Amino acid sequence: MRRVVLDTETTGMPVSDGHRVIEIGCVEVEGRRLTGRHFHVYLQPDRDIDEGAIAVHGITSEDLKDKPRFKDVADEFYEFIKGAQLIIHNAPFDVGFLANEFSLIGQHERADLASYCDVLDSLQMARERHPGQRNSLDALCKRYGVDNSGRELHGALLDSEILADVYLAMTGGQTNLSLAGDGSEGDGNGRQQPTPIRRLPADRAQGVVIAASAEDIAAHVARLAAIEKAAGAPALWAQMEEGAAS
């Protein structure tokens, strides 16, 4: 599935008070990799920006005086996101603002983003996985070891790039230890059937064993330290190793 990680910055909130989108940032993910394709634009909102919003993203009216309006980029933006799964942190906020922008220029058929995109709220996903914990983007970066050191202020493109890393980290682990197949061996009633065991020939060519280098081991130790710092406890395999040694 083609995925687009999306973020916006606005003049303030809520949208019902006439606030507008002033920045859109999107990055494309395919096959669990960033493709390098992105959509990024600053927008002239034709209204003042709240001081509280400026404190968050640092964008002023002076910065936007020569920028395009949403109507100037609407077609390009629509083509970039159409048919993709949108990954958005606190999706109702961004989707509501973008729907309003399409409506204001009379493109009401595009205002319902869910009619041509699948919308995934990464904040809701994080709350389900980590109930009772802080699930802001910064908190998730700390939890999953994602580098957000360049995030002094919010920015739509930077935040979408960081969120892409967080999403891939949240969804990158093995989730199923079943020996069932990939769904192609169904029994006709929607139930998955075990994949038959395939024996390898005894005279097959032996695989090459590549030992970890000193650099590999050092990187592994550093990664364990990062996990321990983020989780507040040693990684499970480190605990098991300590138990075996004692």
Residues serving a catalytic function are: 154
7 is in an annotated binding site: yes
Q: Which runs of consecutive H residues, i.e. helices, occur in 107-180?
A: 108-111, 122-129, 137-144, 156-170
Q: Which runs of consecutive H residues, i.e. helices, occur in 51-199?
A: 51-57, 61-64, 70-81, 91-104, 108-111, 122-129, 137-144, 156-170
How far is 187 from 126, CA to CA, in rounded Å?
34
How far is 225 from 232, CA to CA, in rounded Å?
10
Q: Which residues contact 146 (CB under 8 A, 6 or more apart)?
A: 140, 162, 165, 166, 169
51 is in an annotated binding site: no
- Which residues does residue 38 pair with via DSSP β-bridges, in sequence order? 27
Tokens standing for 146?
A: 């994602």
220 is in an annotated binding site: no
57 is in an annotated binding site: yes
Cβ atoms of 199 and 173 within 8 Å: the answer is no
How far is 96 from 220, CA to CA, in rounded Å?
43
Binding residues for substrate: 7, 9, 57, 159
Bind-site residues: 7, 9, 57, 159
Annotated binding site for a divalent metal cation: 7, 9, 159
